[in-house]
Amino acid sequence: MLVSLMVKNLALIESAEVTFGKGLNILSGETGAGKSILMGSVNMALGGKVSRDVIRTGADYAYAELTFTAEPGVQKALADLDIYPEDGVYVFSRKLMGTRSICRINGESCSAAVMKQAGEYLLDIHGQNENQTLMKAQRQLELVDAYAGDAAAAALAKVQKCYVEYQSLRKEWEEETMDAAQLAREVSFAQFEVQEIQDAALRPGEDEELEEQYRKLTHAKSIAEALETAYAQTGYDSGSGAGEAVGRAVRALSGVIAYDKGLEGLHEQLMTIDSLLNDFNRELQDYADAVTFGQEDFYTVEERLNLINHLKDKYGSTIEKIQAYCQEKESYLEKLASYETYRQELKAKTDAAEKKLAEASKKLSGIRQKAAAQFATEVRHALEDLNFPALCFEIRFETLDHYTAGGTDGVTFYISTNPGQPARPLKEVASGGELSRIMLAVKAVLADRDAIGTQIFDEIDAGISGRTAQKVSEKLSVIAGRRQVICITHLPQIAAMADAHFLIEKQVEAGSTHTVIRGLDHEEETVELARMLGGVRITDAVLQNAREMKELADRTKNNGCENQTELSY
């Protein structure tokens, strides 16, 4: 159940908080007061798409927050999404700031997609445009599945799994259509690629070693000159090298150490330096003697690197990837060697998958058709309660000539609202007001089929009035006896049935326009009903009319809505 709604800085709403109750919660107000803004805030808090233009002028952000309670079944579904209640409630919030949007559930950041998915378990919104979706065949099929419940859901999941398997095998089979000439070309090309890679005799890490050698060979002259200079500057042969200088220093200290014992430490350090320098000079010479920079070595390394880079361009960016590609081609050649056998086995697998899909689709269709018959009966009864006398409502099936992930059923709702007229597809005959009532009937029938705690109707009363409006209000009250209903309406017949009534109104203060939302007490509710009945001038007669309407509505609810038809103003 939706416990509360909080909105800040959203369009004309500076700050608003509404606490909803059980039963039928009615929202009413003048045209343009901001009823659509309220629905927008619910959509925003549940991760829906929203324009940055909704941020109130002069504000830095817009904020919407919804607080829910949930039944155990819904709590389990939310737990599967790793969402758990805190203090018994779920708090969905979203803050919109410029190009940023921050979504949270119980204070934890989440994506808008997760928020939207979680919201579908808590709340069902019937918006002003949903009536049009009722005319689409796919939506009609979804409603049948919703009525069929867990049995259809399990069968549909099986069909979807079988469909994916079948499509994958079928695609593979259709792609394997080589004739003898194509097969020969494929074999020849694959053999060439494998042979080219095998002839290269690649070794992991070889390319890195060769690149290091190539760098040395490319800078051979600079390296040789550097070695020669280092040896001359640190050696003992030139007369001016560091080794010769240190040797002279050692001899100098050795000549006087007998006269000054304090020089022994310095003499030992100098001897160490001389020894290290001598070792360095010898190792430098050995390194220089071992280095060769032949032109032939350079060409050999360069040619090998060019070969490896060529193979990288064709088969993979590393030696490991090239070798893996070679293994794939070797496996491919094995398949080609027994290509006809492979195709026969693939065809057998495809046929088996198709049979499995056909059986799963047939089982799903049986579940759907059985459920659809009862569904149509219940919808027909619900429509009779909504002032559709002598109604014919049917759900007809056709078998598609192809497989889909949703099975092989095509579903069409047929209806006739006039005696003696044949039933025709809903999309061809239903008016706007009729669509509203049909959708309401469907929602009423499905109310016991899921654990969703809140149903929101936005302008469900479009295109109706008088006795029909009264019938709609009674049906809403019946649904509200099973789950919380929040309804935005402009009809007094519906508003009179409220268990809680909220007024949305626009106010101007200090040159600034605000939308405010407030709950109405009994007398205020009567005044609002009078406004809805009488328009601009509210006379004593209109007020009395409103009081009688509210009294009759209360009496209708207490006596049971289905058999009451008194309120037909």
Q: How far is CA 234 from CA 222, 230, 271, 275, 288, in A?
A: 18, 6, 15, 12, 14
* Burial (CB count <10 Å: 0-12, 13-18, 19+), residue 565: middle
pLDDT band at 568 (very low <50, low <70, confident <90, very high): very low
What's residue 106's pLDDT? Answer: 95
Q: pLDDT over 70 for what percent of the chain?
A: 96
CATH superfamily of domain region 2-133+450-520 = P-loop containing nucleotide triphosphate hydrolases (3.40.50.300)
Q: Taking residues 171-187, report their average pLDDT.
A: 80
- H or E element: which one contains 213? helix 206-218
CA distance 145 to 156: 9
Q: Would you say residue 259 has pLDDT above 70?
A: yes
CA distance 191 to 193: 5
Q: Would you say residue 566 has pLDDT above 50?
A: no
H-helix segments, 316-338: 319-337
What's residue 284's pLDDT? Answer: 80
Query: Which of these ranges, 264-268, 282-286, 556-560, has the smallest mean pLDDT?
Result: 556-560
CA distance 23 to 206: 77
CA distance 327 to 339: 18
Q: Would you say residue 561 has pLDDT above 60?
A: no
Packed helices 432-446 and 339-385: angle between N→C axes, nearest 10 degrees: 100
H-helix segments, 123-149: 130-133, 137-148
Q: Would you say residue 457 has pLDDT above 60?
A: yes
Q: Taking residues 182-192, report their average pLDDT.
A: 86
Residue range 138-165, pLDDT digits in tens: 999 999 999 999 999 999 999 999 999 9
Average pLDDT of the chain, as a whole number: 87
Q: How far is CA 301 from CA 224, 290, 296, 304, in A?
A: 19, 18, 9, 5
For 466: left if phi > 0, alpha if psi spans -120 to 50, otherwise beta; the answer is left
Q: Kindly report whether the global pTM for this prediction surpasses the value 0.85.
A: no
What's residue 238's pLDDT? Answer: 64
CA distance 484 to 497: 14
H-helix segments, 46-80: 72-80
By DSSP bridging, strand 500-509 and strand 24-28 are parallel
Spell 400-431 as b/e; 16+ CB within 10 A means b.
eeebeebbbbbbbbbbbbeeeeebeebbeebe
Contact status, residue 197 vs residue 315, Cβ threshold 8 Å: yes
Query: Which of these ranges, 198-207, 221-230, 379-388, has the smallest mean pLDDT?
Result: 221-230
Q: Alpha carbon 18 to chain centroid distance?
A: 30
Greater model confidence, 374 or 263: 374
Contact status, residue 288 vs residue 228, Cβ threshold 8 Å: yes
What's residue 187's pLDDT? Answer: 83
Q: Taking residues 406-419, report their average pLDDT.
A: 92
Q: Taking residues 249-274, report their average pLDDT.
A: 84
pLDDT band at 448 (very low <50, low <70, confident <90, very high): confident
What's residue 492's pLDDT? Answer: 93
Q: Would you say residue 431 has pLDDT above 80?
A: no
Q: Would you say residue 370 has pLDDT above 90?
A: yes
Q: Would you say residue 290 has pLDDT above 80?
A: no
**DSSP secondary structure letters along 500-523:** EEEEEEEEEETTEEEEEEEE--HH
Q: Taking residues 49-57, report their average pLDDT.
A: 88
Q: Taking residues 76-81, report their average pLDDT.
A: 93
Q: Alpha carbon 113 to chain centroid distance?
A: 4
What's residue 253's pLDDT? Answer: 83
Contact status, residue 274 vs residue 253, Cβ threshold 8 Å: no
Contact status, residue 495 vs residue 26, Cβ threshold 8 Å: yes
SS3 label, residue 65: strand
Residue range 204-240, pLDDT digits in tens: 999 998 888 888 777 777 777 777 778 777 777 766 7
Q: Taking residues 487-500, report their average pLDDT.
A: 93
What's residue 239's pLDDT? Answer: 67
What's residue 143's pLDDT? Answer: 93
pLDDT band at 349 (very low <50, low <70, confident <90, very high): very high
Contact status, residue 202 vs residue 311, Cβ threshold 8 Å: yes
What's residue 412's pLDDT? Answer: 95
Q: Taking residues 497-524, report their average pLDDT.
A: 90
